[in-house]
Amino acid sequence: MLRLHANEHPQGPPAGVAESLHALVPELHRYPSGEGALQAAIAELHDVPLNRVLVGAGSAEIISLAWRVFTGPGRAAFFHEPEFEFYPMLSAQCGTAALTRAWPPEEHLAEYLRQERVGLMALSNPHNPTGAWQPRQAIADLAGRLPDTTVVLNDEAYYDYVDVPDAGPSLKALSELPNMLTTRTFSKIHGLAGLRVGYGVGNARLIGLLRALQTPFSVSSTACSAALAALADQTLVLDRRTRNREQREAMAAALTGRGFEAEPSQANFLYVRPPRGTADWGADLLDRGVRVYPVGTALRVTVGSTAETAVLIAAVDDILTSTQTKSMEEI
């Protein structure tokens, strides 16, 4: 089964990761102690003090903590529709009122959020599932128009793939805002989804509130050590970003050439609308061994390797041929 549904990286982790994990084996009977070193490396990367960084078991842990801390009775969660599928799940788990509006963000969003007493406004940027990138300045402006009691969760899980220059505020500048929490992950470009490690950056007060609810030792020693090794290989990150862009463009061209419409994407996936016809695209691709993520009648498809794109396109061609044959038979 070709996994083009979860936005994983097609290659594994950087070479240094395996070495770092081997070195840990004799220490696995100990509780983790590597989190401090990883926290320090992240703080250095973004030029922020240590108390603005929280490492989590995937960025999902930080996002989940944000739901628990900033939403509750009288403090709704807001996100667009569609959005990362974890947001509605968390609202249900926490018994939080979830307010939604259709994507893309509308002009009077800040007014609406103020009026509805929203505790947490969550937004993935690049946006999952469309891949759209909003300049950071727009997110900072939104936070600035909201009271400090409305926290903006700026979920940058796919930031490492963004290849347009953004003159907006740095992550450090965002972390100086009273109501902004940014999350990042090692699951995507660093190829470490299976180890579960990510982080949040925000002002010391917000980070302190999240830390107070975090389960002790939630991030394993293996995850910390692998993430440290991955951070050290920034050349690989740049290389993977370029390769992802090239492959994303090739995939978009191949699909649009076959009647699909593709949204411009800055992530490692494409949001495409299939050509009209009889095919149930998600199911038909699955029958041919390709798993994608259907969003209504659209599809979110991970950018894979060249070989994976070739398998995807062969499956698409097969579906197009068989639906054409079916319609000919009906005539």
Ligand X SMILES: Cc1ncc(COP(=O)(O)O)c(C=O)c1O
To which residue do tokens 């994303």 refer?
A: 248
Least Å distance, CB 325 to ligand X, is 37
Instruction: Return the residue of 2, 4, 5, 7 that touches ligand X, per CB under 6 A.
Output: 7
Instruction: Please report, for residues 18, 27, 31, 151, the alpha-carbon distance to residue 22 in angstroms, rounded to integers and kept in the order given.
Output: 6, 10, 17, 40
- Closer of 87 and 281 to ligand X (Cβ): 87
For the segment 140-159, give every residue that binds ligand X (CB under 6 A): 155, 157
Q: How far apart are CA 290 and CA 4, in angstroms?
A: 7
Residue number of the CB atom closest to ligand X = 58
82 interacts with ligand X by CB under 6 A: no
| Candidate segments 22-30, 94-102, 185-193, 200-208, binder of ligand X by CB under 6 A | 185-193
Instruction: Return the residue of 34, 82, 198, 294 that touches ligand X, per CB under 6 A.
Output: 198
Least Å distance, CB 206 to ligand X, is 18
Instruction: Return the residue of 39, 124, 134, 179 that touches ligand X, per CB under 6 A.
Output: 124
Report the DSSP pairing between strands 261-262 and 269-273: antiparallel
125 interacts with ligand X by CB under 6 A: no
Say how many residues touch ligand X, by CB under 6 A.
Answer: 13
229 interacts with ligand X by CB under 6 A: no
Q: How far apart are CA 125 and CA 169, in angstroms?
A: 14
14 interacts with ligand X by CB under 6 A: no
Q: How far apart are CA 179 and CA 110, in angstroms?
A: 13
64 interacts with ligand X by CB under 6 A: no
Instruction: Return the residue of 17, 21, 24, 60 that touches ligand X, per CB under 6 A.
Output: 60
Instruction: Please report, for residues 99, 299, 301, 311, the alpha-carbon distance to residue 2 in angstroms, rounded to integers and kept in the order given.
Output: 35, 15, 11, 8
